[in-house]
Chain A
Amino acid sequence: MFPYTFMPVLNTYPYNQDVWAVLVVSLFYIVIFNLPLLFIMIKFRGLTINEIFDTISGSAVGKALSIIYVLLFLMCYSACLMVALQFVSITLMPSTPMWALLFVAIIPITYIAIKGAGVIGRLATFIVPLILITIIVFALAGIKMMEFDNLKPILADSSFLDINLGAMYTAARFSEISIFLVFSYFLRKDADIKKNYFLSVAVFAVFILIMVLSTLLVLGYDIASICYNPYYIFTRQVQLYESLEKVQALNLFVWFPGTLLKLSIYCFMAAFVLNRMFKKVSRKKFAIGLSALVYIICSIKIINNTEFLQYIGSDRFFPYVIFAICFVIPLILVAIYFMRKKKINEKLTLALKKNNDEQNSEASLPS
């Protein structure tokens, strides 16, 4: 929902009409940057994120890594919430105070996070198709307004280096692999992680590309790159025949639930990892506590303002954080795995056995 809201690809190298090509090339880098975590997910399937870290790097370092991931989820939760609510505040509800917007957003987010992975999955099967349908509807309805000259000259103003640099920055923002890491634990045993991963990357790529192209073709690069929510501005231009005006409401109708769903995923993941670290405190309590913390963070005016959010969302901050946490750390873990393969495999077998035993004992409990 981050790219859906402010399309960071528009403000990266090469800073011109070729940014759609950056998006295409970034797929290659996304896969490269995700390979270490993908390997870990496949190799350590059946273990939670905490157990994976503990198994590879030992208990102390494992806990530290878990904390780093919790901080990442917390950062994504609060930053994404602030970006979304700043948009609501600037464009849609300028008179509604931020505390009320936060309140209305955080309650459903926390509720969904408390309900757990199953509810998140079921909500996603309802909300995500709606989002995808509206993207297609807006693209088709906007065809009449699209000027293909907006993309010209194609790839003439950008160097190979610029395109690749832009693609690397774009790929480095892709934090969704961390969601895969946490949720792979909940996947059905017959589900293929690789297949699901590539399918979701393909869906992401196709639909983000449709969104970026629609926006560029209607607004042009110069205007799109200065909008807070370029896709919304694009949808504001679309009319469905003469009788249906202001159809951007359709965009908001799916954007807001989609954003809440994404935020609830971050809330759930942070609570889940903390719960696995400190088993005495329930996930529900962590979810409520984290949401309260995010509410406080988002209420601080020096943080929740457009200038600070522009910095957070820019290429100067976000890609480096995600790159370090979702690529560098997993790469080191993979290296450790290969260095201590035999020992780690033994620990892995034990951990899997323990998990199986726990699951079997839970299954045999009288209902």
Chain B
Amino acid sequence: MKKMFLIFALVVIIVSTAGCWSSTEVKNLAIVSSVIYDMDDENNYLIKLNIVNPSAIGSADTGGGGNKKAGITLDGKGKSYTEALNDVSANVDRRLFADHNKVRFLTEKVATKDYAVINFLDFIMRDALTDESALFVVIRDEDKDKLYNSTATGLSNLIGTFLDELATTQQKYCSSMTHITTLDFIKANYADGKEAVAGTLFLEETDNIPSQNSGLEDQEIQYKIVYEGLALFKDYSLVGYMNGKETEIYNILTKQAKTGIVTIPKDEDFAALTWNKPKAIIKASYNGENAIFDIKIEGELTIDKMYIYNTSEEPFSDIMKTLKKEVSEQMKTRTSAAITKAQDYGSDIFGFGAMLHAQNPKAWRIIASDWEVYFKNATFNVECDFKINQQGEINKPFIK
């Protein structure tokens, strides 16, 4: 009898406690793929959710899904993001589920408004179902209405999946973009001696991009996503942008860069080289008046395209030396320019303050409270040393 009761109790427990109180069947979930956070002129918080449309997803064999759009867009408005979400929920026949959200887009309006970003982060950190791993991207105000309509998303069906896949696959091959997660953004905002950055994208008009998106014919595609550069923040506010080339320098100095391409023009021709494995050695010091940073960037080069015209009489070894020198010179100029740009914005996105703190804690204690001023007046001595390791693979025999 006792055994029977125990078996009965076990069955009851297994059946009745297999989920939380608010458990919802997958078919009843509205799975959020990405979200645009915005504000209007009356300081209302606006939310635009891109939801996975399950009826548009079908297997290749069955051809299910037909011509339906892979994602649907829902809008909400409120005095807070929670209220805006409730506004969305009121008009959707499924339960909103944000745990698989891939990207959080912040419009320029929110990113530049006082306290808007900090309000946003407060909401993210308090909510039970928000995940810090979603990408954090700033978009131009004029792009917010176009993003979920008529935008090419490569081989993915949804913008969120597209950017998430980019972050996964392109990190190794492209350094002109940043893949900043919400956690990275929050961490940088909390850290001393470092300002936050976010990824950024803009839409570019295009004709005839073939689309794999369910439900979108070729002619409906009007925009392509240009996902490069970064958005600079200072004290929780967007202060400016860096382009793809400047972002490469950001990635090198923050040890996130893997590879990039540099072109060296000569007469009417140019040489293209790929730099790999860049290494930035940064020494921070303080001379009593200014912070001084000695930056040495080292890396390897591979020749992708060589000069064809007007170089035949010059010895190959000399060309190599000149190329190496010019690449190093170009990288040095670009590095100095990127740092100067950040100094102009007063935003230490590279974390030089944190480096000074780590390497010279005593000096940091003196200047930490005025770091913005010290950063603007800091001296940066940049040195670049790139070595050509591979001369290309196809047009020169190994032994001549």
Contacts and interface: CB of A to CB of B under 8 A. Distances in A.
A95 interface: yes
B132 interface: yes
Contact of B131 (A94, A96, A157, A236): A236
B17 interface: yes
Nearest to B365: A157
A129 to B, nearest CB: 24
Interface of B: 17, 20-22, 99, 128, 131-133, 168, 183, 186-187, 190-191, 354, 357-359, 361-362
A242 interface: yes
28 contacts: A90-B128, A92-B20, A92-B128, A93-B22, A94-B128, A95-B20, A95-B21, A95-B22, A96-B20, A96-B21, A100-B21, A149-B354, A152-B358, A153-B358, A153-B359, A153-B361, A156-B362, A219-B183, A220-B187, A222-B190, A223-B186, A223-B187, A233-B132, A236-B131, A236-B132, A236-B133, A242-B168, A246-B99
A237 B22 contact: no
A14 to B, nearest CB: 13
A366 interface: no
Nearest to B127: A94
A237 B132 contact: yes
B108 to A, nearest CB: 26
Contacts of B133: 236-237
A112 B331 CA distance: 67
Contacts of B361: 153, 156-157
Contacts of A153: 357-359, 361
A94 B133 CA distance: 21
Contacts of B22: 93-96
Contacts of A356: none
A153 B363 CA distance: 12
Contacts of B359: 153
Given A149-B354, A157-B361, A223 B128 contact: no
Nearest to A220: B187
A246 B22 CA distance: 19
A96 B20 CA distance: 6
Given A92-B20, A92-B128, A223-B183, 18 more contacts: A91-B128, A93-B20, A95-B21, A96-B20, A96-B22, A97-B21, A149-B354, A149-B358, A152-B357, A156-B362, A157-B361, A219-B187, A222-B187, A223-B190, A233-B132, A236-B132, A237-B132, A237-B183
Contacts of B99: 246
B191 A220 contact: yes
A300 interface: no
Contacts of A92: 20, 128
Interface in A82-132: 90-97, 100, 104
A232 to B, nearest CB: 12
Contacts of A94: 22, 128
B235 to A, nearest CB: 15
B191 A222 contact: yes
B186 to A, nearest CB: 6
B266 to A, nearest CB: 40
A43 to B, nearest CB: 43
A152 B282 CA distance: 15
Contacts of A246: 99
Contacts of B354: 149
Contacts of B20: 92-93, 95-96
Nearest to B355: A149
B202 to A, nearest CB: 28
A128 B92 CA distance: 45
Interface in A138-168: 149, 152-153, 156-157
Interface string A231-251: 001001100001000100000
A98 to B, nearest CB: 11
Contacts of A233: 132
B374 to A, nearest CB: 17
A251 to B, nearest CB: 15
A168 to B, nearest CB: 24
A109 to B, nearest CB: 14
Nearest to A233: B132
Contacts of B168: 242
A219 B199 CA distance: 20
A201 to B, nearest CB: 32
B29 to A, nearest CB: 14
A152 B284 CA distance: 14
B131 A220 contact: no
Contacts of B190: 220, 222-223
Contacts of A237: 132-133, 183
Q: Which 6 A-B pairs have the closest CB atoms?
A: A95-B22, A152-B358, A96-B21, A156-B361, A93-B20, A222-B190
A37 to B, nearest CB: 38
Nearest to A156: B361
A104 B17 CA distance: 8
B286 to A, nearest CB: 14
A220 B359 CA distance: 18
A157 B363 CA distance: 12
A89 to B, nearest CB: 9
Nearest to B17: A104
Nearest to B131: A236
A311 B379 CA distance: 47
Contacts of B132: 233, 236-237
